[in-house]
Structure 1
Amino acid sequence: MKHTWVIAVLSLTASLSFAKGPAPAASAPAKTPTAQQQLMSTCNSEATGKKGDERKAFMQQCLSDGKKQQQSRMKVCNAEATGKKGDERKAFMSECLKK
């Protein structure tokens, strides 16, 4: 009797979960890539044709240069954002760093 109840509950649970089906992919909002992800994508596309140690060395150099550029951009944007606060500053910094 106990096994019958367990089987019935498991069957009901399984049938309900299959009835819902997978969530539609279109309902999930598209995420914008972070600066690091964009940098990685750019360096990766520039590294096409390189293999092994050559590719590894290129990627290290490219990512390093990109981080330096990002830090430099951050300093400039931060200086320009002086006097802005809250959401205004956040929106300004976001736009400034995208340039």
Structure 2
Amino acid sequence: MKRLIALAVMGSSLAVAPAVFAGAQQEKMKTCNKDAKEKALKGDERKAFMKSCLSGGAAESGKGKQQSKMKDCNKQAEGKKGDERKSFMSQCLKG
């Protein structure tokens, strides 16, 4: 009988876990979408940003976030050369 009760308790706790995870994932999706809209990203640029944003983990930590920002700025700086690129990258990485 005790085993049956223990299994029932464990089973019910496992049923709740996916719902909690789904809520957190939905919130993350909302936040990433909002950020992508604020940056006016479209096409492949948006796709890359969303992938990075939703992957979480290191992408949200200091070093991963800076690397992600560098990738985004590099992509936006395509076609710029010399001082123009240097100035753009400086402003992009600050903001």
- TM-score of the pair, normalised by structure 2: 0.48
- TM-score of the pair, normalised by structure 1: 0.46
Larger Rg: 1
